[in-house]
Amino acid sequence: MREEILSNLELQLDKDAYDVIKGRNIHLGVFSEPCLRYMLEGKKTIESRISKKKIAPYQKITKDDIVVVKKSGGGVVAYFTIKEIKFINLNEISINEIKNKYNKELCVSEEFWEQKKDSSYATLIFIDRLVKLEPFKVNKRGMQTWIVLDNKE
């Protein structure tokens, strides 16, 4: 999947931007509405992944990585670089503290917080530079909403 994404990015980006991306770890994140729209509009500046278990991207992403943005049920529409990452053990810091501090930047609903109230781990990804792309399909199977595509070079 990494090569499939890179070949599509190579067609859309200038050589310098492409060379930077191909040398980094890439993550494919699946995003649904309305969060995807808020992200593309620049309103959502932090992406969160909150879960009961230690699943990707928890402890699997670094500041220099690239996140490729795939619309749920659709194609890849953008990518972003990362300004900062916070890994949070929700047994030490409450989910309400995260909500109180970052709710505006996360652009999520009360229903989201209700669904995540029994979670144990949170990854907060601060979006640095989002680049919109001409949408393209990627051969993704399964229900994962986050896939780590390590740099194999």
Q: What is the pLDDT along the chain (153 residues), one digit of tens a residue?
A: 999 999 999 999 999 999 999 999 999 999 999 999 999 999 999 999 999 999 999 999 999 899 999 999 999 999 999 999 999 999 999 999 999 999 999 999 999 999 999 999 999 999 999 999 999 999 988 899 999 997 654
**Which pLDDT score is estimated for 68?**
98
**Which pLDDT score is estimated for 152?**
55
**Which pLDDT score is estimated for 130?**
96
pLDDT tens by residue, 19-33? 999 999 999 999 999
Give a three-class secondary structure readout of the chain: CHHHHHHHHHHHCCHHHHHHHHCCCEEEEEECCCHHHHHHHCCCCEEEEEECCCCCCCCCCCCCCEEEEEECCCCEEEEEEEEEEEEEECCCCCHHHHHHHHHHHHCCCHHHHHHCCCCCEEEEEEEEEEEEEEEECCCCCCCCCEEEECCCC
